[in-house]
Amino acid sequence: MARAPKRPRSEQKAFSPILLLPNMLTVTAICAGLTAIRAGVHGNYELAVQLIIVAGILDGLDGRLARALGSASKIGAELDSLADFVNFGVATPLTLYFWALQDIRGIGWIAVLVYAVCCVFRLARFNVGSKTGGGLGGAYFEGVPSPAGALVVMLPLYLSFAFADGPVVPPLVISLHMIVMGLLMISSLPTWSFKTTRIQRGNVKYFLVGVAAAGAALATYAWHTLIVLSLAYIGMVIWALITRTRRSRR
C-alpha cells in the first residue's frame, strides 16, 4: 500500500500569525522595559514609569490572549518570565536608583540588588510551582507578584509627580521601601490572585462602569490614581498579614 507523501517541513511548522500575538505582546513589553531604562538614564523619569506601566498591562494581556487563542507554549511561558524580570526586576529598581538613590553611596545600590534578586527568586519559585503543581492554589499567589511589587515600589515616584517637582520621600526611606517590597515578593504571604475573579452576570454592567471610571481617572489624573491603587494594594497586603497572624494564633 502506497504511503501518503510527507508534507514539507516548512508546511508542517506553518501556522497563523494570529497565534504569535501573545509572544508579540511579550516582546513589546520587553522593549518597553528596556526603553524605560534608557529614559531613566537620560532623566526622563515620567516616561520611564509610563513605559513600565505599559509593560505591566501587556504582561496581564499576553497570557490571557495565549489561553484564549489556544497558543500557550513552554517557550511563551519562559519568555513571559524573562520579560517580567527585565521589566519589574531590572527596569523598575534602576529607574528609582537613577531618580533618587545615586547620592547615598552604596545603600541605594544595595537596595536595588536586594530587590532584583528577590524578584528573580520570586519568578523562579513561581515557575517551579506552576510546573509541579505547588503554590497556594489558583485563588492566591505565594508572596507579592512581581508586577504588583513594581507598581507599589514606584509609589515614591507617583507622589513626587503628583505633588512636587522632586523627591518627597527621603532616599533612605525609598531604599527601605524597596527592600521591604523585595522581601514581600519572596515571602509565603498569600496574596489575592485577580486571575480567579468571577463577575456575576447581574453585576457585569456595574463592573464595566467601574472599569470605565478607573480608565478615565487614570487618563485624567494618572499619578493620583496610581497612588490610590498602590495604597489599596498595600492595604490588601496588610490585611493578609493580619489574617495570617490571627490564624497562626488559633
Q: Is 132 exposed, middle or buried (0-12, 13-18, 19+ CB in 10 A)?
A: exposed
- Domain 18-193+200-249 part of CATH 1.20.120.1760: yes
Kindly report each contact of residues 46-53 with a partner whose C-beta sits within 8 Å and lies 24 or more positions away, as own/partner. 46/161, 48/91, 48/95, 49/95, 49/154, 49/157, 49/158, 49/161, 51/91, 52/87, 52/88, 52/91, 52/92, 52/95, 52/150, 52/154, 53/151, 53/226
Q: What is the pLDDT along the chain (250 residues), one digit of tens a residue?
A: 455 555 555 445 666 677 778 888 899 999 999 999 999 999 999 999 999 999 999 988 887 777 777 777 788 788 888 999 999 999 999 999 999 998 887 899 999 999 999 999 999 998 887 766 555 555 678 889 999 999 999 999 999 999 877 678 899 999 999 999 999 999 988 887 776 667 788 888 888 898 899 889 888 899 999 999 999 999 988 888 888 777 777 6
- 241's grid cell: 498579614
The phi and psi torsions of 190 (rounded to 5 degrees) equal -75, 125
Q: Which three cell numbers stand for residue 6?
A: 510527507
* Model pLDDT, residue 174: 95
Q: Where are the domains of the chain?
A: 18-193+200-249
pLDDT for the residue 62:
80
CA–CA separation, 249 vs 166, rounded Å?
A: 44
CA distance 114 to 182: 7
Cα–Cα distance measured from residue 97 to residue 101, given in angstroms and rounded to the nearest whole number? 5
Q: C-alpha grid cell for residue 110?
A: 544595595
pLDDT score of 214: 85
Q: What is the pLDDT of residue 134?
A: 55
Q: Which pLDDT value is given to residue 195?
A: 65
End-to-end CA distance of the chain: 73
pTM: 0.86
